[in-house]
Structures are given as structure tokens and as C-alpha cells.
Amino acid sequence: MKQEPLKSLYIVSKDPKAGSMLVAFGMMDLLKRRYGRVAFFRPLVENVNGDEDIKSIMEWFGLKQSYDDAVGVSLQEVEMLLSLDKREELIGKLLDRYLELYKRYDFVLCMGIANEHLSTLLDFDINVEIAKNFSAPIIGLVSPQEQTEEIVEEEIRLWQKAIEDQGNELFMLFVNRCLHDFYETSVKHISQHFSFPVVFLPDVPELDSISVGEILTGTQAKLLFGNDESLHRIVGGIRVGAMQLEHFLDHIEDNDLVVTPADRSDIVMGTLIANESSDYPSVSAIVLCGEFGLPENLMKMIESAKKQTVPILHVPCDTYQAVKKIERIKPRLSSRTPNKIATVLGLFHSHIKTDKLFERLAETFTKTLTPAMFRHQLFENAAKEIKNIILSETEDERILHAADLLLRRKVVKLILLGKEAEIQSQAKRLGLDLKDAKIVDPADTKLKDKLGKSYFGLRKHKGITLQEAADAITNKTLFGTMMVYEGLADGMVSGATHTTRETILPALQTIKTKPGFTIVSSCFFMCFDTAVLVYADCAVNPDPTASELAQIAIASADTAKTFGLKPQVAMLSYSSGTSGVGSDVEKVREATRLVKQLRPDIPVEGPIQYDAAIDPEVGASKMPESSVAGHANIFIFPDLNTGNNTYKAVQRSAGVIAVGPVLQGLKKPVNDLSRGCSIADIVDTVALTAIQAQD
């Protein structure tokens, strides 16, 4: 196994609180960009049936392995085997489980456990010993705490020697939770003294805080008010509502958790009212205590307040017991804390040099491209050249949630259209951080006049007057489109609350199509388990001509290249090759001829049936001379009826992730959202738009 390319790494922490899960999330995110199938393995766990860290990693990254495959042995079994001098039996048992993953996956990321009790029983590091037997180099993790630069450097050297004495090596090292002064003064000095990469990560107090969702689960509370997004909020301090309301309000701070007896309706209502005011901090949640919940009339009053966004929980115990339960909850990274995970990934990738890291890996490439890999490559590529993307529909909460996640991931700069006070008030209510977004008010007279005059210049040949142009520019979609046209932004995403026509028409009128294109078309990235295919056109052109169909094929091939796919284009029809006749087949045949004439660099086949395009055996049988048949990854449908129905049928029946529609053919990118889009859809579309803007 030592002669094979590197296929595994093992995270080892010196300190139980150094942040192993931060590194595990960051490394898994990184590895899934490069490897087709990545597995997670934790050799030692406290409880083989319920390791929450394993569950969080598997759920977030959608790992296909079973939970049992990710678990080694319990700490109790480790102590028993070692006490009986059965060290070899322990290592052998772990190797058996590990090698099963190693054979089936392209890369295995292992994470050790820092257990102080186990460390006192052994004169060696059990994690380093396991990593050595796995032939897995170590990703080390230390936390400087309040130590000086000299002490930290010496600690790293001593640990490096101890690891080498046990027959292993440090692949790289993370110094996590660096306080500001240490981070500012010590990073460059320490890094220069080691042959392996040393990555310093600043302390982020938010990561040590619990979420409202964790409180809901950890206290077995009942959720009276709130939705899934509100449960993601991070809790600052705990504030017990025991004093009079007027005094209590003077003591609350941003993100406080208010814990109060359920019969203190004055505290409850006062907190809710204060939360809507810009003069008071925004709380994360309210926890009601006691045998009985809120009175019925108070429940009705809160239910009738449509803007009420503060989650309210109820626990059937007294206030003192509730606080104790909450204080015992251990903060974690999980699906209940997506904002913390976004912060972690943004922190990780902004401090690591990806190219240098992969230079140290003996890369194992596969032809597989999974949905997770595709999405992670989106973020990686978007972050290479940060672009300014406009989100115009800020009245929609989904847009603001997506903006929060995008800013945390540090993949784009965002311009939000709307009144700053309204957007920030909405963000405060939702517990979002939008401070890094640029907010532009479409009512700003100076900018509105400039864009209105520019729009008039573009449309006066159509008979539009200056006043009509000024009136039209008050439309936020047109306003944002004109900002892109004027170079004030690199692209725009709209459509969450508008139709496709309302998004595309302003772009056609102003930005216009690229040279060589007379139409705007769309494509979807269809993310299957082991491949990403492109379907076009499934959203814009009802019945394209042969010339337009050729443009759609060329645009789709270019889009695929932009996102790292090597195009193999299939021009779909109900017959393959020369077997079919009729106007519909002839249209596809002529479109194929035009693609070959205009872009001989694009491998294309048509007319061809779907099965012959995607299945190598069928392709070889029906079109044996074709290099595309059986290997196509771009599928051009002859009309919108066929394309739209097919993509939706495949999406719903096969459980495929459909990313798009991505608009093609414009000089500058403007992309359309479905009005039923999810927050994840918005995030993906913004990343796609940013990459198009780079191109």
C-alpha cells in the first residue's frame, strides 16, 4: 500500500478543544472537490451507536457510506484490549474496518479523538499509532491558548519529534483559535521554521456558541413559534427574565437567549416588541419555563403578529433547571448550524493555500463527477476571482438567507437592492449577518437618473421618451440589469419573485447577446450520483429553428467548458443517424451540420436518440462510427416542450439535483431563478453567475 498514491489522511489533535471538527469539515470540503468518492472514518469513538460528529459529517456532505462503516471501536473496548495487552488485536480490528473503506473509496479522511483519560493510561499517542498502521500521514492540530510564540514553536517541535519517533510524519499542521495579538505577530515567523505547511486560524468565538436548534434538542423543549431557519440562530449569552421589564430590557444584548417563567407575559411581550425596534438588541430566542405554557390569549396575540420571527420554546421545568440544561449543551457543527458551518468553510478556505496543499498530495484522479464535487468546484472556482453579483429581490427572505451563506463562504461580493434600513432590519429579525454586503437603494436620485438616461439612450430608437425611461428604471430588475450594463456589477440573479420573461427581457433590451448569437437560451446541470450532464434548452425557447438550435448547442458546449466539463454534444431526436425522415428530424440534422461548420472544435452527433447518446452499448449498435454516441454529456432537445418535461421527469423520478436554469448567450451574465427555488438553489445560481462573469 505504501507504493500507491496517497489516499488517506488522519486528523490528530493535542487538545480536546482545539477544533478537530473545524479541520474535518474544511478538509472534507476540500477533498470532495478533487476526489470522486471520499469516505470518513473515526477509529475511536465514545459511543459506537451515536457519535454525533460522524453523523454531522455524513449528513452535511451527503456521504454514501453507512454510519457503521465510519465507526471503529469504542473507548471502553480500547481500554479493555490495552489492559489485556491486546494492542495488536486492537490495531488489526481497526485495520480490517479501515481497509474495507480504503479499497472502495478514492480517499479516506480519518479523525482521531483527543481523550485526556486515555492519554494518562498510555505512554504513546494511540491516534498516531493507528495512523502509522494506516499508512496515513497526520494533519496535526494545536491551540496556542495564551501561550507565547516561543512556547508554541517549541510545542510544535516536540510534537513533531514525538510523531516521528512513533514512525509517522506530519503532513501539515493547523494552529487554531489564535487570539488576535498572537495571530498578527506570530504567523510568518513560526511558518518559516517548518518543512510542512503550518496554517494559522484566528479565534472565532461564534463557533463555541450553541444554536437555538441545539437547545431545542438538548432540552427536549417544545417549539411554540419559529421555523427551521430561526433554529439556526447562534446564542450569545443567557439572560434570565426575573426582574421588572423596564430593568430587564436595559440588560439584554444582541443574540441573548431569554429564559423566563412562562407566566411572565410582560417579559415575553416586552422582548418581542423590543426585538422589532432598532433601539434594542436582537435576541436569538425565548425559552419559557414551567409546567404550563403561554396563556391561550397570549398565544393568539403572537400568532396574529405576522412579523414575529423570534423562536419561542417551552421546557416543563423551572428556570434554574432549564439554565443548567442549556449550559450543559456542547456546541457542535451540524445540520442545525448551517451558518456556523458556512463560517467554518469560509475561514478554512480563506487561510489555506489550496494549490500548495494538493501539490503535497499524490493525487488520485477519477472520471466520476458527483453532485457534491460539482457544487464544491462551483465555490472553488467562484472564489478564484471574486465578482460583484446583484440580488434584486431582497424582500424575499430566501434571498437574504442565501446572501448570508454566500458572504460567509467568501465566494462573491454581493450588491443588494433596496432600502438599507429595511434590509438590515429584516436581517436582524432573521438573525443574519449582511454587514459585508453593499446595499444600493434604487430610489437614489443620482444613480437612478444616470441609469435612466443610459436606458433612454439604448431604447429611444424604439420611441421611448426620457420620462418613460425614468419611470421604467424604478423597476428593480431593470435597475439591476442597467447596473450590470454600466459595469457597476458583474452579473445579476433574479426570478425568485418574478417570471423568466421579467428577468430576461431587460437583459435582451440592454445587455444584448454575444457576437454570433441572436437568442438567449438556457441549460440545466443535471447532477446524477456519478456524473453531471447538461440539458438544454429547457426554459426559454419554445420551438427553435435549426439555426437557433445550433446556437443553443454551441452556447451549451461553451458553458460546459466554463464549468470544467469536456463537451460531447448530442442533438436529440426520435431517430438516430440517417434512419428517420420528416421536418422535425431534418431540423436537428441541419442544426448538427451548422454546429460542425461553425465550431469544428466541438464533438457533436445528431440526430441521435437519448439511449444511443448515453449508453455505450446502444450507441455502438446504432451509430458505430460515432465518437459521441454512448458518451454524450450535453443533450440538446429539439423544443421546449420536450426539454422541460424531460428535465423535470428525470429530476423528480431519479432524485437528480437540477442546477439552473443557467442563461446563455448574453454579453454579461443575468440568471433566472425558479419562483419555487430553495436557498441552496439561490446560492448555487449566484456561484454559477460569478463564474460566468469571470469568463
More reliable by pLDDT, 191 or 361: 361
Question: How far is 382 from 377, CA to CA, in rounded Å?
Answer: 8
More reliable by pLDDT, 309 or 306: 309
pLDDT (tens digit, 9 = 90+) per residue, 452-473? Answer: 899 998 888 888 889 988 888 8
Question: Is residue 3 very low, low, confident or very high in pLDDT (cuts 50, 70, 90)?
Answer: very low
State the pLDDT at residue 628: 92
Question: Is residue 188 very low, low, confident or very high in pLDDT (cuts 50, 70, 90)?
Answer: low
Please say if the pLDDT value at position 322 is more than 50: yes
Cell of 426: 429584516
Averaged pLDDT, 234-238: 89
Is residue 612 a contact partner of residue 619, using CB atoms and an 8 Å limit? yes
Helices marked H in 35-85: 52-61, 67-70, 75-83
Question: How far is 551 from 122, CA to CA, in rounded Å?
Answer: 68
Please say if the pLDDT value at position 286 is more than 90: yes
- CA geometry: angle at 359 spanning 356 and 364, to 5°? 135
State the pLDDT at residue 636: 95
Cell of 137: 500521514
- Candidates 199, 567, 510; CA nearest to 347 is 199
State the pLDDT at residue 398: 93
State the pLDDT at residue 40: 96
State the pLDDT at residue 1: 31
Torsion of CA 162, 82, 127, 98, to 10 degrees: 140
Is residue 213 a contact partner of residue 232, using CB atoms and an 8 Å limit? yes
- Candidates 155, 156, 152; CA nearest to 178 is 152
Question: How far is 276 from 338, CA to CA, in rounded Å?
Answer: 24
User: Can you tell me whether residue 694 is helix, strand or coil?
Assistant: helix
State the pLDDT at residue 184: 66
DSSP string, 134-150: TT--EEEEE--TT--HH
Residue percentage of the chain with pLDDT more than 90: 37
- Candidates 324, 313, 330; CA nearest to 212 is 313
pLDDT (tens digit, 9 = 90+) per residue, 51-102? Answer: 889 999 999 998 989 999 999 999 889 888 888 888 878 888 888 889 889 8
DSSP 8-state secondary structure symbol assigned to residue 431:
T
Please say if the pLDDT value at position 2 is more than 60: no
More reliable by pLDDT, 634 or 166: 634
Cell of 380: 472553488
State the pLDDT at residue 117: 65
State the pLDDT at residue 568: 93
Say which residue the cell 463537451 belongs to.
567
Is residue 379 a contact partner of residue 410, using CB atoms and an 8 Å limit? no
Averaged pLDDT, 108-135: 81
Question: How far is 425 from 202, CA to CA, in rounded Å?
Answer: 29
pLDDT (tens digit, 9 = 90+) per residue, 478-510? Answer: 999 999 999 999 999 998 888 888 888 898 889
Please say if the pLDDT value at position 372 is more than 90: no
Residue percentage of the chain with pLDDT more than 70: 94
Please say if the pLDDT value at position 165 is more than 80: yes
State the pLDDT at residue 291: 85
Please say if the pLDDT value at position 237 is more than 70: yes
Query: Please, what are the domains in the chain?
Result: 8-203 (3.40.50.300), 212-327 (3.40.1390.20), 367-502 (3.40.50.10950), 513-665 (3.40.50.10750)
Please say if the pLDDT value at position 35 is more than 90: no
Say which residue the cell 507504493 belongs to.
3
State the pLDDT at residue 186: 65
Return the beta strands (E) in 464-515 as ranges. 491-494
- CA geometry: angle at 624 spanning 623 and 627, to 5°? 90
User: Can you tell me whether residue 582 is helix, strand or coil?
Assistant: coil
Question: Is residue 689 very low, low, confident or very high in pLDDT (cuts 50, 70, 90)?
Answer: very high
Q: Mean pLDDT, the chain, as a whole number?
A: 87
Averaged pLDDT, 530-545: 89
pLDDT (tens digit, 9 = 90+) per residue, 407-444? Answer: 988 889 999 999 998 999 889 888 888 999 999 999 88
**β-pairing, 198-202 with 222-225?**
unpaired
Question: How far is 574 from 343, CA to CA, in rounded Å?
Answer: 49
Averaged pLDDT, 25-31: 92
State the pLDDT at residue 191: 64
Which secondary structure element, helix H or strand E, spans residue 600, and what is its range? Answer: none
State the pLDDT at residue 365: 40
Say which residue the cell 417549539 belongs to.
223
**β-pairing, 532-536 with 670-672?**
unpaired
